[in-house]
Amino acid sequence: MMTQCPSNRPHCNLPAILLPVMILALALPALHAQDAPSTQTPPQQTTPSSQDNSGPQTDNGTIILKKKKDADEPPPPAAPAEPKVKNPNNETFSLRVDVPIVNLDVNVILDKTHQFVPGLKANNFVVLEDGVEQQVTSLRTTQAPITAVMLLEFAANSYYFINDMQNASYTFFQSLRPDDYIAVVTYDLRTHILTDFTNNKQIVGQAISSLVIPGFSDTDLFDALYETLDRTSRIEGRKYIILIGTGRDTFSKITLDKILAKIKATPNVTIFTIGTGAFIRELADAQGAMGGIQRLNYLQAENQMRTFASMTGGLSFNPLFQGALPDIFAQINDSIRNEYVITYRPTNNHNDGTYRKVKVLLVDGEGKPLRMQDEKGKPVKYSVIARDGYYAKPPVE
């Protein structure tokens, strides 16, 4: 609280008058200090965060903080490429399964009639791979395609022989299916390949239709059959030769013994033979127009054709009339098309690229060799035809 100076002391009023002047004098330096920065470069503005750490944060310092925050959080789980299936034990397994499976084509035919034996069950088959018995997982019956060579005798010896050959080849040609592969080869003095293996029925039909005018009268059957066996041996799988002709051989370089040895040495080939000219020969023999030597030659030719077929498990026919051809080829188709397909998983599941030997046996319910008999109770012999082995998959590189 301010005290008032007495009136009888005028000098006491001087400090009261000078007080505002002194206050103004003290304030002028401060005002001058505030006006001075206007003539200099403005200083860098500072953010509130640099002046006061307790204030709100701005965007200048949030990038580093956000990265640190993101690094502390666990990454989101990746979406699975495919659904996972859990087993009862809540364990997840890979979907890739690499288990070798073998499909084995097996044909069971009667030795005498060469008919297909139907009605066999999976427990009737025993599969041995390298001597080790395998477990058959499935068995089905199917009709397999044909890979065959029609070997036709086309020589200038008799019109009736050519006519019979063409009728027989046309009948077989009509029985073909889209997945059958057929080659057409003719022979006289030489062997002529009309068409290579094809499943085009039009090409096969054109090849047969081109057989109009023969060139030579010689029939070198042994040479032609030897060359055909040599070519078919380079083809994998089972092959068939449909030999249509008289069976006579005139000037072959190959002898009968050599062609028989060639047949034995050629695996997976079955020969079916159809004789031509049987009716005209029977007619000539009945009229006495055929001599003894000529008759003997044709009998020997028929026996050779029959031998070629029997050595390979095929059939031999010598029809008198052309009307028998449809039934003949139906029997041939039944013999070579029907087969069993056996599926098993080998005990040796290593992919080492090695060759595995396979053998198929037939057993009864007690595990003994299966016995077959006809209607009269007589035992019937049969053959089991299957490939002798396969190559395992090579190792994965």
23: number of Cβ within 10 Å = 9
**CA distance linking residue 8 with residue 10, whole number of Å:** 6
Within a domain: 77:
no
Within a domain: 54:
no
One domain, residues 355 and 209: no
Neighbour-count burial for 218-240, b at 16+ CB within 10 Å, e otherwise: bbbbbbbbbbbbebbeeeeebbb
User: Please, is 211 exposed, middle or buried when counting C-beta atoms within 10 Å of its C-beta (0-12, 13-18, 19+)?
Assistant: middle
Any idea which residue has 């070198």 for tokens? 220
One domain, residues 324 and 264: yes
What are 313-339's pLDDT values in tens digits? 788 898 888 888 888 888 888 778 888
Within a domain: 305:
yes
One domain, residues 130 and 213: no
**CA distance linking residue 104 with residue 339, whole number of Å:** 10
- Take residue 98 and report the two structure tokens written for it: 């690499």
What DSSP designation does 212 have? -
Within a domain: 1:
no
Please report the pLDDT score of residue 385 as a whole number.
79
Query: Going by DSSP bridges, is the β-strand pair 132-134/125-129 parallel, antiparallel, or unpaired?
Result: antiparallel
Within a domain: 41:
no
* Domain final position from 292, 316, 337: 337
One domain, residues 386 and 273: no
Q: Which residue in 154, 312, 142 sits closest to 233, CA to CA?
A: 312
One domain, residues 186 and 300: yes
Contact 47, 60 (CB under 8 A): yes
Beta bridge partners of 131: none
* Domain final position from 291, 315, 337: 337
Contact 315, 272 (CB under 8 A): yes
By three-state DSSP, how is residue 22 classified? helix
One domain, residues 239 and 167: yes
One domain, residues 219 and 329: yes
One domain, residues 165 and 285: yes
Task: Please tell me the total count of domains within the chain.
Answer: 2
One domain, residues 275 and 372: no
* Domain final position from 317, 337, 357: 337
**CA distance linking residue 246 with residue 302, whole number of Å:** 7
pTM value is 0.58
Rg of the chain, C-alpha, whole Å: 51
Q: Which residue in 194, 193, 182 sits closest to 148, CA to CA?
A: 182
Please report the pLDDT score of residue 45 as a whole number.
47
Q: In what order do the strands lie in the sheet with 389-391?
A: 132-134, 125-129, 355-362, 389-391
**CA distance linking residue 124 with residue 360, whole number of Å:** 10
Q: In what order do the strands lie in the sheet with 382-386?
A: 136-143, 338-344, 102-110, 382-386
Within a domain: 294:
yes
One domain, residues 111 and 194: no
Any idea which residue has 């100076």 for tokens? 5
Please report the pLDDT score of residue 383 as a whole number.
85
- Take residue 357 and report the two structure tokens written for it: 């030997």
One domain, residues 122 and 257: no
Range of the domain at 291: 147-337
Task: List, as one string, the DSSP characters of 173-184.
Answer: HHT--TT-EEEE
Within a domain: 253:
yes
Within a domain: 321:
yes
One domain, residues 268 and 246: yes
By three-state DSSP, how is residue 59 classified? helix
What DSSP designation does 78 have? P
Please report the pLDDT score of residue 65 as a whole number.
41
Q: How many angstroms from the chain centroid is the CA of residue 91?
A: 34
Q: Which residue in 211, 146, 154 sits closest to 182, CA to CA?
A: 146
Give me the residues of the chain with pLDDT under 70, please: 1-99, 114, 289-291, 396-397
Beta bridge partners of 120: none
**CA distance linking residue 87 with residue 266, whole number of Å:** 53
Residue 182, φ and ψ in degrees, nearest 5? -130, 140
**CA distance linking residue 196 with residue 181, whole number of Å:** 9
Residue 310: which CATH number? 3.40.50.410
